[in-house]
Amino acid sequence: MRSTSLEGHTFGKYRVLEPLGRGGMARVYRAFHPQLERYVAIKVMRADLADDEEFLARFRREAKAVAGLRHANIVQVFDFDVQDDIYYMVMELLEGDTLKTRLNDYRVRGEQMPWGEMMRILLDVLDGLAYAHSEAMIHRDIKPANILLTKRGEAVIGDFGIAQIIGGTRYTASGMLIGTLEYIAPEQGMQNRSDARSDIYSLGIVFYEMLTQCTPFNADTPLAILMKHVNDPLPLPRTINAEIPEPFERVVLKALAKKPEDRYQGAADMARALRVAAEEAEIALPSRISLPLSFTTESAPSDPVAIFSGTTRNMVADAQFADDDTDVTLGQHLDKIRAEAQPDADTLVGEAPPAKPAPGRRKILVLILQGLAIVALGNLAMFAVAASTGRWAIFEHGWPIEIFLVCLGLSVAMYTTASIWVLVPLGIIFGTGALLAYSTVTGNWDLWVVLWLAELLAVAGSIAIPITLAKQPERARALSRLIALMLGAFSVLMILIVGVTAVFRPIWLILIGLVALIAWWLQQHRAKRAAS
């Protein structure tokens, strides 16, 4: 980056007035065209990025393509040129805020962006992407800092084509991959391949962050972040915030599929899915985006700020302007990673079996303690019942309760970890407990000659189901919680049946109670149907 200030300089017919901010690839200035009496933003490329001998040809080719884009949701490029070895682009000056700033404002306030507001922003961005993709232009660096929220109430995409200008396909292969790792698509990071579906993935990460106020994959090193994009199952948004509408989660899951062919194949497809999701969730779509919170904060009022393409407020300090700037040296960090992790560049990302992240020792210890606590509390409850009623037969005839207490502990562990593999011990133990409970409650042990076949079915099912679902990690996580809830509820029911039977024998008391419960449920169901 040039150390000298460009204030007062003239680029063509544009006179530079003042700096607006800087990012990872360029510095942005406010400028004025005296003949047109128009204020503009001039983006000056970093001088050290223009050392490649092919840069000028690439700059002119890609900048011309970007300048040809005409859409309300894409920042307009007016001009581009090179002067005194300074490469610059002249763009419209927008007044407003970035989505990054808006999300940070909500975080500071401890509030959630309204669902309708999210939909309006995403639909505006998708309209811009759909048009650009139809013109064979890929953004390659979609993130909140590159989505501008204007005072006109529109979301506008900034920095379109800059990643291609700075790091063209061939140049990128030599170590100049451009992007931001938290938002980069797996095939973009591992293979340096990107198309319209890569932008869809990046926008899916943005949607995930809007819903949960965090990005899904974070780590301490570039390698760790990239490998999480490639291998790790997506943490379900509704496990972070249960208030997220389920149709929105479905859109996120499809947009963030590991393989490009499993995602939405175009921006228009994702836009249609969002509209359907909003309709299913009964979310009204506003006609425009609300004004930035920064304009209306009573405790910290501020003037409207001029922003452009990922830069922030006017007069911002030069140092550490943003912590998620586009990384222009990303390729240098990842070249070695690609060579080690994927020697065959033609191998599709996502075909390798997903890595199974091992839970931390602390988490395992907590789950073990939870299970022991459930067993201990169950035994204390049995003791309290026996002591208060004088019926100590609960320990003689109610011993299957111990098995279902273990099942309850495993159900809690399965729900907490969302791991389908917990079903292996849980299913086997639950099946065994159910058979033993039947024989204990009825006193009929002769049927074990036949019941051992049911035991084999329980074992086979408990092993086959996890193996089958493991091929679909996202579905497995969702079903694991549902199965955990079902088996946990049945464990509680079996504990009650065995316990009551052991204390108040004979079994006909239990049967009468179950018949009464079923009759009551049917009555309530009929009453609801009649009311509807």
One-letter-per-residue 3-state SS of 340-376: HHCCCCCCCCCCCCCCCCCCCHHHHHHHHHHHHHHHH
Where in the sequence is the domain holding 490, given as residue range(s)? 361-531
**Beta bridge mates, 307:** 94
pLDDT for 223 equals 79
- Phi, psi at residue 28, to the nearest 5°? -115, 135
Strands 77-83, 86-92: pairing is antiparallel
Give the position of tokens 């009650």: 496
**Which element (helix H / strand E) includes 136?**
none
**Residue 85 resides in a domain:** no
Does a structural domain hold residue 27? no
What's the one-letter identity of residue 375?
V
The answer to whether residue 154 is domain-embedded is yes
In a shared domain, residues 182 and 103: yes
Q: What is the Cα 532 distance to its own chain's centre?
A: 38
Closest CA to 8 of 41, 30, 36: 30
Q: Are residues 482 and 523 in the same domain?
A: yes
Do residues 355 and 232 make contact, with C-beta atoms less than 8 angstroms apart?
A: yes
Does residue 141 carry a catalytic annotation?
yes
Length of the chain: 532
Let me know: does 99 contact 147? Beta carbons within 8 Å.
Answer: yes
Considering the domain architecture, whether residues 374 and 259 belong to the same structural domain is answered as: no
> What is the secondary structure of 4-36 as a DSSP string?
S--TT-EETTEEEEEEEEE-SSEEEEEEEETTT
Sign of CA dihedral 400, 406, 412, 415: negative
* CATH number of the domain to which 280 belongs: 1.10.510.10
Looking at residue 199, what is its pLDDT?
A: 94
Residue with tokens 């379109």, as numbered in its chain:
160
Residue located via tokens 């839970």? 359
- In this structure, are strands 86-92 and 94-98 parallel, antiparallel, or unpaired? unpaired
Report if residue 39 sits inside a domain. no
> What pLDDT, on the 0 to 100 scale, is given for residue 377?
74
How many domains, in total, are found in the chain?
2
As a whole number of angstroms, the distance between CA 260 and CA 229 comes to: 13
pLDDT given at position 171? 34
Residues 192, 106, single domain; the answer is yes
CA distance 75 to 147: 10
The tokens describing 70, both together, are 């005409």
Task: Please state, for a pLDDT cut of 70, what percent of the chain lies above it.
Answer: 65
pLDDT at 416: 80
CA 199 to chain centre: 15
Q: Which residues of 422-452 are buried (b: 16+ CB within 10 A; e: fewer)?
A: bbbebbbbbbbbbbbbbebbeeeeeeeeebe
Burial degree of 482 (CB within 10 A; 0-12, 13-18, 19+): exposed
Q: Where are the beta strands (DSSP E) in 416-471?
A: none
Catalytic residue among 97, 141, 159, 232: 141
Q: How far is it, in rounded angstroms, from Cα 317 to Cα 349?
A: 40
Tell me: do 480 and 332 sit in the same domain: no
Residue 406's CB: how many other CB atoms inside 10 A?
A: 21
Q: How far apart are CA 161 and CA 66, in angstroms?
A: 6
Half-sphere exposure of 16 (CA within 13 A, CB side): 20
Contacts 24+ apart (CB under 8 A), 471-476: 473/233, 473/354, 474/233, 474/234, 474/236, 474/253, 476/233, 476/420
Residues 334 and 365 in one domain: no
Kindly state the DSSP code that residue 193 receives in the 8-state scheme: -
| Tens of each residue's pLDDT in the chain, 532 residues | 444 678 878 888 889 998 887 765 678 888 999 888 889 988 887 766 656 666 666 677 767 778 888 899 998 888 888 888 788 888 888 888 889 989 988 888 888 999 999 999 999 999 999 999 998 888 888 999 889 998 888 999 987 766 555 544 333 333 344 567 889 999 888 877 888 999 999 999 999 999 999 999 988 877 788 889 988 999 999 999 999 999 999 999 999 999 999 999 999 999 999 999 999 999 999 988 887 655 444 443 333 333 333 333 333 333 222 334 555 455 555 555 555 554 443 333 333 334 444 444 555 566 667 667 776 776 667 666 666 666 565 566 667 777 888 888 888 888 887 788 888 888 888 888 888 777 777 777 677 667 777 778 888 888 888 888 777 776 777 788 888 888 888 888 887 777 777 666 555 555 555 566 666 666 766 666 555 5
- DSSP string spanning 281-297? TTPPPPSSPPPPGGGT-
Same domain for 335 and 424: no
pLDDT at 524: 67
Q: What is the per-residue burial (b if ≥16 Cβ within 10 Å, else e) of 233-272? A: bbebbbeeeeebbebbbebbbbbbbbebeebbebbbbbbe
Please state, in angstroms and as integers, the Cα–Cα distance from residue 483 to each residue in 356, 456, 462, 466, following that order.
20, 20, 11, 11
C-alpha 263/C-alpha 186 separation (Å) is 12
Q: Tell whether 378 and 336 lie within a shared domain.
A: no
**435 found inside a domain:** yes
Q: Is residue 332 located within the same domain as residue 393?
A: no
Answer whether residue 287 is part of any domain.
Answer: yes
Alpha helix (H) ranges present in 110-195?
115-134, 162-166, 169-173, 186-190
Residues 201 and 139 occupy one common structural domain: yes
Task: Give domain status of residue 70, yes or no.
Answer: no
Q: Which residues pair with 39 in a beta bridge?
A: 32
The answer to whether residue 427 sits within a structural domain is: yes
Q: Are residues 160 and 245 in the same domain?
A: yes
Dist. CA 217–CA 479, nearest whole Å:
22
One domain, residues 335 and 393 = no
497 token code pair: 């049946």
